[in-house]
Structure 1
């Protein structure tokens, strides 16, 4: 399926800037930063996205055994640049079968993480006011994560890093057990030549179905 720009929250096709607005506009969610279609990832695509993004491209590092990078997504426009990124990885589910983990970095009010998680609104809401339920490590620092209620087939966690939202969305829900491990995140932009050696695979079908697949 040939992909088109889409709303990061609902996946619908937005209207481009025009006479009435200088922003992309979704009929349901108003002004948005549109999401580029899902594309099969590669070292070249990762490098190109990293060069034009001021937002991290989060990746579990080192990548778990048997896992591959399945998709790279970005939300933004020509005026404001990249405002949100998502890296989808796929591999073995601790409880059997396959699992997907999508790591999102975004500025405030973009809504990419919420859209992928099936969360109403543009951010995690009041969930982050409770005690954190998980954590990851970034640059030697512990980042607390809060469990967020989203789509029933997903385990959703969100936190903050450097003033931006950090989301971890796991599918199916039971794959959330991965966060019981001591996961370390790295910014794909900073991996240099190691990014060239990553195993790249195919986009998760549910992502391609929601946002379009640019083959």
Structure 2
């Protein structure tokens, strides 16, 4: 989002652009799989809100449950690593040629075993399709996550948002977690629970979470590209 109102009273900096991912599909799908398959993985994940119904979801018999847990953990780590290497400006596909390039990119990325792509987040279904996932149960839960937050919540928190943006943050990722959650996963990205973003006091606290250069894992990012 960007406010371009030229009026002098507009407190939103004219060059400040903030992206809010209030429905991160790849992450939501992984959260559903972990819950539905009852995977015991080493991931510090808060309780989900709302809780998904598993339906007929069940880990496929093609691998053991511990093996699925390992695969899930790898996919979860890749999903977060992607934010460290993602393009700051997503491409705009407006011409016929750019649309063709986009379609070719999507075909490539949706093949199993592909390295991370700067513009397209990794998807579990690219490697494992929808095996073991009750799509109706997932879609019902996923649709229930539609944002119920006022669209001007960032504007209401400008005194905290502007310093966060000045420190390099330009993207906020809202996750279906219960209670307070805030983690600066990269200089550009702040992950929060939807509950945190929906509470002015909690959101102000979350926007003050800082990012330290020493936590950047550059070798991991290079490995994500196969370098």
Same fold (TM over 0.5): no
More strand per residue? 1
Query: Could you state the TM-score of these two structures normalised by the residue count of structure 1?
Result: 0.26
Query: Could you state the TM-score of these two structures normalised by the residue count of structure 2?
Result: 0.25
More helix per residue? 2
